[in-house]
Amino acid sequence: MYGNGMFYNFFDPTFLLVIAGLVISGLASAYVNSTFRKYDDFRSRKGVTGTAAAEYILHSQGINDVGVQQIAGDLTDNYNSGNKMLSLSEATAQSTSVAAIGVAAHECGHAVQDAKNYFPLRLRAAIVPIANIGSTISFPLIILGVIMSWNATLINIGILAFSLALVFQLVTLPVEFDASRRALGILREGALLDEEELEAARKVLVAAALTYVAAALATFLQLLRLILLFGGNRSRD
């Protein structure tokens, strides 16, 4: 009989790995929000808005097929390579803060990557649907494998499917770091920000990058827990 033993592993000490991942992600999110709020009060001396900065950067890089729009939300900024649209959140689009300009420039960095066929960006786009499917089916496969007398094939496929989420997170890291690097370089060359303002923008972008590092680490800890719990495919009486 499986009884309570079947579900024992869901409450064993390895759950601390999941808690650690949640704490790391929460701290990273809190840090980026506090850093953005701090430098959101630091107004650029030239009074350029996030939208104006984005339009200037795109034009300066010879990118004329990307639109810029304002969307609802806070820090929901993103670049969509599919429809060539750069979306800036309300907190970024009309703000003249150094933080807003830095975030807008970062999204422009993705547009530059797209225009230059930056390979990691292409790879990430190709992985997205696979990673989404893997994340969706991983736990059902593992649970089904446990129910079916610890079926090794189903459990291993489930773990492998979940690992695709980690692959996506790892591929995302160079994409995000490179976008920030490009953003700071363009801001410096275009003289939109002075050196003091550039340093503030850099701190905002570093804080944002840490959220991706935290996400990758949290996913790794979850994968490690799955391997520790189910990787051995031990049968339960």
Which residues are known to be catalytic?
Answer: 107
Tell me which H or E stretch contains 168: helix 152-190
Q: What's the rounded Cα separation, in Å, for the pair 98 and 110?
A: 19
Q: What's the rounded Cα separation, in Å, for the pair 178 and 120?
A: 10
DSSP state of 79: E
Residue type, 116: K
Query: Which segments of the chain are extended strands (E)?
Result: 67-71, 78-80, 85-89
Which two structure tokens, joined as six digits, stand for 17?
């790995």
Q: What's the rounded Cα separation, in Å, for the pair 175 and 209?
A: 10
Instruction: Give yes or no for a contact between 84 and 66, defined as CB atoms under 8 angstroms apart.
Output: yes
